[in-house]
Structure 1
């Protein structure tokens, strides 16, 4: 049987009031030292850009449309199609006044638009801040203010929470972009508190009409701030640099290469764990690195089964 861990230090018995300590194990690849970084991968933007160049026609992001009362088969966008959308969304953010280092909120369930917004942030050295309302009542209001968010991408069914008068920090926002579109009433609510509201298609059009070259980040630049509930008090923001994300991808790559069944560009991942958590974010970044495909679940978690993924 192949072993993937090795003991690097012995444990000790408890004595003189000190607790016992068990032996320490590490992955075989880091028994003596950590593996070196990938020289071609220093930022999250590097990973996506290089994948789009290498696998332009591969299926990248998939989703299912609700047709005639039921969910249809997966529809896909290629790496090249997604790359062009990323360029447009990034340009639109710049046209709205976003400068490198600005905090960009993303509020909604996993979907292709979530990833496009995230990669647009990476392209222009903007900081992606996922908003996650299950952290508790008022968490979105707290995070928008605490992270000093100026722009938010939002799923339509989350608009009510964001535009609720109780979410007082929304008044600091300059623009919100809906993954689909706004009703006139929703646009009016946003306008009443000084927020420019854009549908997804409007934002794409703005970016295409006002193109801006990407401003790629350095490895030391902040990539994302991920909030966690912690053990008490308000949500805690975990600051992750592009180097952090690059090393997550590198670590997953090295780990997966230890198995006989290698990861390939033909693999497909069903995304339903929240992108607001680093586990799913890391997995999806790794799949992009490999030119593989990610299909997003339809948003109804309890209805997921082994047979729901119709590739």
Structure 2
């Protein structure tokens, strides 16, 4: 089993046929149980590069067909450092004392950038449970110093 190639980790059980098919494509395939057992292995990770894939962000297709967009380490860090610069210019750079209320869908690139920024700065992140009826209650409990959202113009 090679740990430095692409891998799929599934919370559900994986059939031997699925594993075999993935292996044939050069992808390791693990159930969550199997993957958690790998933490006991002593292995060295290869150095990370800016051009390495950080994530594949799903787009809903509002401007075309739905697709997965490859986002590199360099692209994520460029965005995180851009947020840092903008907040620096407004004297609002985040610290470990700050918290962000994650209101956008988790599959939203803007929210992912803001969460990455918070992790970078050691700030806390609270997640909306998805029911608008409890939004004010959640905001009162977390008392976030950051709350990011988007506006869509309707013409």
What range describes the TM-score normalised by the shorter chain of this pair? 0.5 to 0.7
Which position in structure 1 is the counterpart of 2:136? 306
Q: Tell me, yes or no, if structure 1 residue 254 matches structure 2 residue 88.
A: no
Counting matched residue pairs gives 130
Root mean square deviation of aligned Cα: 2.6
Q: Residue 304 of structure 1 aligns to a residue in which SS?
A: helix
Are residues 1:191 and 2:28 paired? no
Pick from 116, 141, 147: which aligns with 1:285?
116
Question: Cα offset for 1:260?
Answer: 3.5
Corresponding residue to 1:217 among 13, 33, 48:
48
By how many angstroms is 1:236 displaced? Answer: 2.5
CA deviation digits over 1:271-299, x for unaligned, max 9?
Answer: 242232210110011111111111233x4
Residues 229, 295 of structure 1: CA spacing in aligned structure 2 closer, same or farther, 3 A cutoff? closer
Q: For CA contacts below 8 A with separation 6 or more, give which structure has more relative contact order.
A: 1
CA contact (8 A) 1:191 1:197 kept: no
Residue among 19, 28, 35 paired with 1:203? 35
- Which 4+ residue blocks in structure 1 deviate beyond 6 angstroms? none
Alpha-carbon separation, structure 2, partners of 1:265 and 1:192: 45
The equivalent of 1:151 in structure 2 is 8
Equivalences for residues 122-133 of structure 1 within 5 A? none
TM-score, normalization: structure 1?
A: 0.37
Equivalent residues of 1:267, 1:293 under 8 A apart: yes
- Tell me how far apart the structure 1 counterparts of residues 31 and 92 of structure 2 sit (CA, whole Å): 47
The 1:198/1:302 distance shift into structure 2, 3 A limit, reads same
How far residue 253 of structure 1 moved from its aligned partner, in angstroms, is: 0.4
Alignment pair present for 1:232 and 2:56: no
Counterpart Cα distance in 2 of 1:211 and 1:300? 39
CA spacing shift, 1:207–1:98, aligned 2, 3 Å: closer
- 1:192 positional shift: 6.4
Residues 44-193 of structure 1: pairs in structure 2 closer than 5 A:
97-100=2-5, 102=6, 150-152=7-9, 176=10, 178=11, 187=13, 190-191=14-15, 193=17
Q: Are 2:105 and 1:274 aligned?
A: yes
| Consecutive unaligned residues in structure 2, runs of 5 or more | 20-29, 143-155
Deviation at 1:244, TM superposition (A): 0.8
Give the gaps of 5 or more residues in structure 1: 1-95, 103-149, 153-175
